[in-house]
Amino acid sequence: PSLRSFQPNGASEETLRCEIEELKRKDLALDQEIAQLLSEGYSLEELDKHISLLHEYNEIKDAGQMLLGKLAVIRGVTTKQLYPEYDLELSD
């Protein structure tokens, strides 16, 4: 099958090539960032654990935000108005 048969929403070959190049640049940047962290003494296991903990944190934070949103709807207020009641900072 040709590249054209896989193009979503009629995207051009040139658009797809640009997207591929951008992904390659991001991949290279991430590889460089990992190399930098390794050179600073971090281990791959430590980095993997940190990434795993960040994912877990984000999932818990998303659940908390969802609950705050539902509570705000029930009370007829904005989520922002609930923050002081639960000792949350707006940056949380």
pLDDT digits (tens, 9 = 90+) for 7-34: 555 568 888 899 999 999 999 999 999 8
Taking residues 85-91, report their average pLDDT: 86
**Residues 84 and 52 grouped into a single domain:** yes
**Residues 49 and 73 grouped into a single domain:** yes
Grouping H, G, I as helix, E, B as strand and the rest as coil, residue 42 is coil
Q: Is residue 15 domain-resident? A: yes
Q: How many CB atoms lie within 10 A of CB 89?
A: 7
Counting the structural domains of the chain, the total is 2
pTM equals 0.54
* Domain of 72, in residue numbers: 43-91
